[in-house]
């Protein structure tokens, strides 16, 4: 009953957030609670998510309780090819800007991370772009690292499509994990180190505010390194 009561307050949180956020920020949306989750296979789990510019994705996940480490980087391209930011930015490598999230499944589950991701980070209906960033390198994608995550990710995308919360079709894909490459050091912890950066202020600050408003019990003030 307590959870139901708190979820009834979500529209009020969203209305307040919309009033306080810049008009050009993407509105937050409370994604459904997952019906199927990934059973943990180890003490600390890892998830890989692509949802547009990795600065904001990293910024949001680093404020989630139970998340120990978030790294910005690249996933989705050929296994043996090495790339950097400039190469991926060309949009023809097959890689997407992504984040690798190391988390404690006793505190936050893979399914909950999916819910957070689609509530305040990524629009699952925009093909090969997120907000101002266009190209295959900014696609939204999930990269399961094991069978449990694969099952949960596919089930959640199907659940989202049937929920009626999005008017357009869900285009986020589950992709085969071929490895993760870290981005350069100056792209790590970017939001923490550059809080006044124009891009951060215009597009990403509202995402962290949405996380705090919609998932207050999962929000932590001090971000993970």
> Is there a catalytic annotation at residue 8?
no
> Which letter, b or e, does each residue of 63-84 get, where b requires 16 or more Cβ atoms within 10 Å of its Cβ?
bbebbeebbbbbbbbeeeeebe
d(CA 159, CA 163): 6
Q: Of 14, 30, 31, 53, which residue is the catalytic one?
A: 53
**What number of other Cβ atoms are within 10 A of residue 217's Cβ?**
7
d(CA 55, CA 39): 28
Q: In this structure, are residues 31 and 160 in contact, taking their beta carbons and an 8 Å threshold? A: yes
> Which letter, b or e, does each residue of 149-185 get, where b requires 16 or more Cβ atoms within 10 Å of its Cβ?
bbbbbebbbebbbeeeebeeebbbbbbebeebbebee
Within 13 A of 141's CA, how many CA atoms are on the CB side?
25
Active-site residues, by number, are 53
């Amino acid at each position: 009953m307590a959870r139901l009561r708190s979820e009834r307050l979500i529209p009020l949180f969203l209305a307040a957030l919309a009033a306080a956020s810049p008009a050009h920020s993407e509105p937050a949306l409370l994604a459904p609670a997952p019906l199927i989750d990934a059973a943990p296979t180890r003490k600390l789990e890892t998830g890989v998510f692509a949802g547009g510019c990795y600065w904001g994705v990293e910024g949001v996940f680093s404020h989630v309780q139970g998340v120990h480490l978030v790294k910005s980087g690249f996933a989705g391209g050929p296994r043996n090819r090495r790339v950097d930011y400039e190469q991926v930015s060309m949009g023809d490598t097959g890689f997407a800007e992504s984040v690798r999230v190391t988390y404690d499944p006793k505190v936050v589950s893979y399914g909950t991370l999916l819910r957070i991701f689609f509530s305040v980070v990524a629009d699952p209906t925009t093909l090969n772009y997120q907000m101002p960033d266009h190209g295959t390198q900014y696609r939204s994608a999930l990269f399961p690292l094991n069978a449990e995550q694969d099952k949960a990710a596919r089930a959640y995308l199907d659940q989202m499509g049937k929920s009626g919360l999005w008017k357009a079709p869900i285009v986020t894909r589950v992709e085969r994990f071929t490895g993760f490459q870290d981005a350069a050091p100056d792209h790590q912890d970017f939001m923490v180190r550059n809080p006044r950066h124009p891009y951060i202020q215009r597009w990403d600050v509202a995402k962290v505010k949405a996380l705090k408003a919609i998932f207050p019990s999962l929000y932590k003030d001090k971000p993970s390194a």
